[in-house]
Amino acid sequence: MEQDEYTRDVQESDKEQIMQLVGFKIGKEQFGVDILMVQEIIRSAPITAVPNSPDFIEGVINLRGSIIPVIELRKRLNLYNKNQDKDKDWILIVNVNNRVTGFIVDSVTKVLKIRKDSIEPPPDIVVAGLKSQYIRGVCEINKNLLIFLDFSRILKLNEIKKLRDFSQE
């Protein structure tokens, strides 16, 4: 009986050490975001461009009656441009600080289960610039590096304000 309780405690503590991420790709780079932030994942939807919108907003989509701003994550992370068909993109619908926002990615891979202690802080040179505060860490998955993003920091405060003002218009 005592052995079973000990085994159960060990299994519970192991569960606390496991984190689930939604894996996705932009180009050849592999990224991950905490699954608890992801509301849903949709195939590319018709995006309506909005005149005079901030440059980081690709446009808006109508998701079951809700108008949601959509950000091209490739542009936001300053990654190289692609010549791929827009219809093959995916949109991660993410709840960022109680604000639902869509982020365009090239592909969604799968849900990844990783140990929290396998996530290493990003190298100092990477976080030296203010622009990379959104990188929570890096970890190795199948001999490839995965960059763990913090979507609550992808947008700067002034951009969040623009997004809020934009949504209210």
Query: Is 70 exceeded by the pLDDT of residue 2?
Result: no
How far apart CA 77 and CA 83 sit, in angstroms, is 17
Which tokens is 4 given? 């079973």
CATH class (in words) of the domain with range 20-168? mainly beta
| Euclidean distance between CA atoms 137 and 122, whole angstroms | 5
Q: Which of 98, 100, 79, 83 is nearest to 24 (CA)?
A: 79
- Please answer whether residues 150 and 127 qualify as being in contact, where contact means their C-beta atoms are separated by less than 8 angstroms: no
Q: Percent of the chain, pLDDT > 90?
A: 25
Q: What is the pLDDT of residues 40-70, one digit of tens each?
A: 999 878 999 988 877 778 899 999 999 899 9
Residue for token pair 């939807």 = 45
Predicted confidence (pLDDT) at residue 34 exceeds the cutoff of 60: yes
> Span 84-96, mean pLDDT?
80
State the pTM of this model: 0.78
What is the token pair recorded at 132?
């990379």
pLDDT tens readout for residues 105-152: 999 998 999 888 888 887 765 555 545 577 888 888 878 888 888 888
The residues spanned by each domain of the chain are: 20-168
Given the DSSP bridges, would you call strands 99-105 and 90-96 parallel, antiparallel or unpaired? antiparallel
Q: What residues does 64 pair with on adjacent strands?
A: none
